[in-house]
Structure 1
Amino acid sequence: MASDDLPGWLDAWCDAHLGARPVRVIFRWQRISTVFGVRLDDGRDVVVKARADDGRAGACVVAQKRLAERGFPCPRPLTPVLAVDGLAVHAEEFRPGGAPLAGDSPDVAARCAAVFARATAELAAVDVPPPLPNPRWVRWDHDGPGLWPPIGFLDERDQRAVPRYVVEAAGRVRVRLLATALPRVLGHADFEAQNLRWRDGRVWVVHDWDSLAWQPEAALVGAASGAFSSATPPTLAPIAASAAFLAAYQRHRGRRFTAEEQEVAWAAGLWPALHNARWEALHGDAPLSCGTVRAQAAERLRRANA
């Protein structure tokens, strides 16, 4: 199908790997990945995802496939990851419907934590190579020389625009997180409201399995506890809501975090907001994450013992 909305390789790719060609664009969305929703000439609606091939996608899609086979509410991959012109490409089923769960109250936090606990438990049974490097917004564990993970298009901007309180908090968080020797597990690292859809009071689908990470469980849960209410633009959940998320997660997992895990969770919950605050400052965006970091950092750092 000739369309300015689709790349030139997509027709032949769908024909070769799905046995049909696109006839209509349902949607096109671009952020880190480019995502195409298309109708094929055999009547199927599918989603094709393409992202820069950094070696992560293969393990992520295998894990997503295993979860779908186990009945977890996520789109079922229809192909493995395949290389196309330096891109990692795969197709998955189209699961429309449902709506985001709005709000950042402790009750909403607890409902989201139950889903995250189920996902983490299911991923514990999945054996794939660690999908490294971790997504950039949780990559506090990078091995670069500076505070922030190397991200060229951010690093080339004037770093003096980043507020001092953001840099200082990030330094304290990273020191605390790097000090832990907790074992690493597989987990969803972009657990935001925009990536979940709910129907009739139950979660209908969880998206964005490209964003799996390999980090301590407490760090993954902590990041989710801060980000669960985020849409576009992202923000940081209230402290009481994050506390409710952490408590509900432990309840559903059937164990209490150690003191160290509690500290790691609170530290990791702040890091994505610090990444977003840096992004805002370097792009001149409205200071939403900057504002929540300024308001919450002291208490979150205290709980993290950072």
Structure 2
Amino acid sequence: MSSRARAVDPGLLARWCTEHLGSPPADELFRSGFLSAVIGLRLTDGREVVVKVRPDSPRMAACVEVQRRMFQAGYPCPRPLTGAAPLGVDVATAEVYVPGGAVLPSAERAAVAFAEAFAWLIRLAPRPGEVSALDPAPSWADWNHGGGGLWPCPEGSDVNLDEVSGAEWIDAAGRRARDLLRAGGSDAVIGHCDWLAGNLRWSGDALLVVHDWDSVIAESESVLVGFAAALHSTVSADELATVEDTQRFLDAYGRARGRELSADELRLSWAAGVWTRAYDAKYQHAVGQPITSLSEDEARERLRRAGAGSRGAGTGSQRP
């Protein structure tokens, strides 16, 4: 969310690599990230690694453990090389660098490919009780946060989304989706809550690698599937799933897991997709960016599929 890349002191980074990887950096391959600094390095011993630096959080150890277990289970993710270890005031982890791959599978099969990859992840992930706590969820997935308002506080920003006026239809859609989510519920599983095209790479239609394991959370399967179905892309990494793309994802996910989503699961999945995209839309509005994550018409249609009916859902004319 932040527009400022996280600064990392080169001397601290070199000492961290020497201590935790046994070799200092020789070359920097790339640098990206905003809330986190993601730095590709070639070490002096020839290994290519990625070091991720971000604010410390109790959940980081569990995120690394989930990634380690997924790699050991054969899921295509980078092999962790360290746990979460202090780097200055922050915490860092390292993993094997996995280069290459396309941002999207073939357009005609994209929704199915994303859904099958997600079902594979859910099937192989450890149970929540097998790792330490993954709370709190990242803000875009924290629909049931403990704060008093509708929206959680965005990471890396001091903006209070509940105090931002205008575009009232976004608040209405988010509130309606949250109410629907609170009315449902099931046992939690572990899954990835940021199933954006930028976090996956493909070799044709085969999954090459999934990145950003800081985004694993414990949540109901229906909600996790709803996030993924709403956030994946089919024709461009800059365009989120259409309503039709989301429907194709949900259908394909049911086939991939061997059991169609029930009516109750579908309602929760559609509601979860509305909530996460409304959250992003609210943030975009709050910081003066174009609202690209959700439109009012799309919110209305997604809420209709979530079972919200025609009681003014997704509009600013009537509060849910």
TM score, norm. by length of structure 2: 0.88
Residue in 2 that maps onto 1:33: 36
Q: State how 1:101-112 maps to structure 2 within 5 Å.
A: 101=104, 107-112=109-114
Give 2:36's aligned amino acid. S
Equivalent of 2:191 in 168, 187, 200:
187
| Deviation of 1:279 (Å) | 1.4
CA distance in 2, matches of 1:277, 1:286: 9
Question: Structure 1 regions of 5+ residues with no counterpart?
Answer: none
Contact 2:104 2:237 (8 Å CA) reproduced: no
Question: Structure 2 regions of 5+ residues with no counterpart?
Answer: 1-6, 309-320
Equivalent of 1:222 in 222, 226, 236:
226
Structure 1 pair 230–131 and aligned structure 2 pair: CA distance change class (3 A): farther
Pair 1:19-2:11 in alignment = no
Equivalent of 2:139 in 132, 136, 153:
136
Residue in 2 that maps onto 1:153: 158
Structure 1 pair 262–87 and aligned structure 2 pair: CA distance change class (3 A): same
CA distance in 1, matches of 2:119, 2:161: 38
| Deviation of 1:235 (Å) | 4.8
CA distance in 1, matches of 2:227, 2:271: 8
Contact 1:75 1:207 (8 Å CA) reproduced: yes
Mean Cα deviation higher: 231-240 or 32-41: 231-240
Deviations along 1:65-118, one digit per CA (max 9) or x if unpaired, are: 111111111000001111233322110000001111068x67311111000000
Contact 2:254 2:260 (8 Å CA) reproduced: yes
Mean Cα deviation higher: 125-134 or 93-102: 125-134
Contact 1:65 1:76 (8 Å CA) reproduced: yes
Contact 1:77 1:92 (8 Å CA) reproduced: yes
Q: State how 1:4-83 maps to structure 2 within 5 Å.
A: 6-83=9-86
Structure 1 pair 234–100 and aligned structure 2 pair: CA distance change class (3 A): closer
Residue in 1 that maps onto 2:200: 196
CA distance in 1, matches of 2:146, 2:163: 22
SS of residue in 1 equivalent to 2:296: helix
Structure 1 pair 190–156 and aligned structure 2 pair: CA distance change class (3 A): closer
Residue in 2 that maps onto 1:123: 125
Contact 2:70 2:77 (8 Å CA) reproduced: yes
Structure 1 pair 294–106 and aligned structure 2 pair: CA distance change class (3 A): farther
| Deviation of 1:287 (Å) | 2.2
Structure 1 pair 113–148 and aligned structure 2 pair: CA distance change class (3 A): same
Equivalent of 1:284 in 285, 288, 301:
288
| Deviation of 1:272 (Å) | 1.7
Give 1:160's aligned amino acid. S
Give 2:43's aligned amino acid. L
| Deviation of 1:34 (Å) | 1.0
TM score, norm. by length of structure 1: 0.91
CA distance in 1, matches of 2:223, 2:109: 22
SS of residue in 1 equivalent to 2:99: coil
Deviations along 1:8-28, one digit per CA (max 9) or x if unpaired, are: 311111101110001111111
Mean Cα deviation higher: 83-92 or 45-54: 83-92
Structure 1 pair 166–102 and aligned structure 2 pair: CA distance change class (3 A): farther
SS of residue in 2 equivalent to 1:153: coil
Contact 1:100 1:196 (8 Å CA) reproduced: yes
| Deviation of 1:157 (Å) | 9.1
CA distance in 2, matches of 1:231, 1:5: 35
Q: State how 1:266-277 maps to structure 2 within 5 Å.
A: 266-277=270-281
Contact 1:28 1:34 (8 Å CA) reproduced: yes
Identity, in percent, stands at: 39
Give 1:123's aligned amino acid. A
Residue in 1 that maps onto 2:209: 205
Mean Cα deviation higher: 208-217 or 175-184: 175-184
CA distance in 1, matches of 2:212, 2:41: 18
Deviations along 1:184-231, one digit per CA (max 9) or x if unpaired, are: 111000111111111133111111111011111000000100001189
| Deviation of 1:275 (Å) | 1.3
Mean Cα deviation higher: 149-158 or 50-59: 149-158
Mean Cα deviation higher: 224-233 or 10-19: 224-233
SS of residue in 2 equivalent to 1:223: helix
Contact 1:109 1:242 (8 Å CA) reproduced: yes
SS of residue in 2 equivalent to 1:131: coil
Contact 1:219 1:265 (8 Å CA) reproduced: yes
